[in-house]
Amino acid sequence: MTDELEALLELYRHDGAIREQLLKIEGLQRRRASLAEAIAREYEEFSSKKKAFEELQRHSREKSREVDDLDAQIRADTEKLRTGLLSYKEMEALRTRVEHARARIDQLEDEALALITQVEEQAPLIRAAEQEFLKWKAKIEQDIAEIDAELTRYTAELERLKQERAARASAVDPGLLQRYEELRARYEDPLVPVEHGVCTGCKLRVSEITAERVRHEIVACENCSRLLYVK
């Protein structure tokens, strides 16, 4: 193996390590994004349930206040009927209002009681759901923190590999390096061996002249232009 080929193979293997590191980082980034989306999705679902429960609580409080206000009105009107100096017409109107209010308050009390029951039934369920969500969220956030730590390590390693690449690239003939870089933009495997007269990159047979030349030098595949060598 010539020094020229050895230098190019070293660079090719180094580029493979860089590519592998990039794939690891991309995979971790996808995983992290997926976990962050899961947190946002679960939070939105829990928030919707909690908001509905809070709306039920508000409705229950309003209904109870409505009962209290109507009860206060009935008491005030009853007191007026008992002690007030009213005309016959005013007394009849007030009695009618009290009767209607008493009929209405029975219905309101039933509605208020039903809402209170719903609140009491749902409150422990919401608390349990919140505890479960927070516990799950803490676990996912721990997973994200571990991914972030891995990303930091992999990114540092990637930077180290990129810095080392410059030294490896400088050991390759400039003209050969330019051809290699052009091919690397097209292929993940710009440098491939010839096996049994076949380019292992495009899987096509090379000419007899190319098969002979590649025994002594780095040549290009006439089919795909990849750089060829013999192991």
Asked if 180 contacts 191 with a C-beta cutoff of 8 angstroms, the reply is yes
Q: Phi then psi for 191, rounded to 5 degrees?
A: -125, 115
Q: What pTM was computed for the model?
A: 0.76
pLDDT digit string (tens) for the chain, length 231 residues: 688 999 999 999 999 999 999 999 999 999 999 999 999 999 999 999 999 999 999 999 999 999 999 999 999 999 888 887 778 888 899 999 999 999 999 999 999 999 999 999 999 999 999 999 999 999 999 999 999 999 999 999 999 999 999 999 999 999 999 999 999 999 999 999 999 999 999 999 999 999 999 999 999 999 999 999 998
Asked if 118 contacts 6 with a C-beta cutoff of 8 angstroms, the reply is no
In the chain, domain spans: 3-171, 173-231
CATH topology of domain 3-171: Helix Hairpins (1.10.287)
DSSP strands (E only) in the chain: 191-195, 198-199, 219-220, 227-229
Q: Compute the distance between CA of residue 228 and CA of residue 221 in angstroms, rounded to an integer.
A: 6
- Of 161, 141, 163, whose CA–CA distance to 153 is shortest? 161
Q: Compute the distance between CA of residue 14 and CA of residue 21 in angstroms, rounded to an integer.
A: 11
DSSP code for 4: H
What is the H or E stretch that residue 189 is in?
none
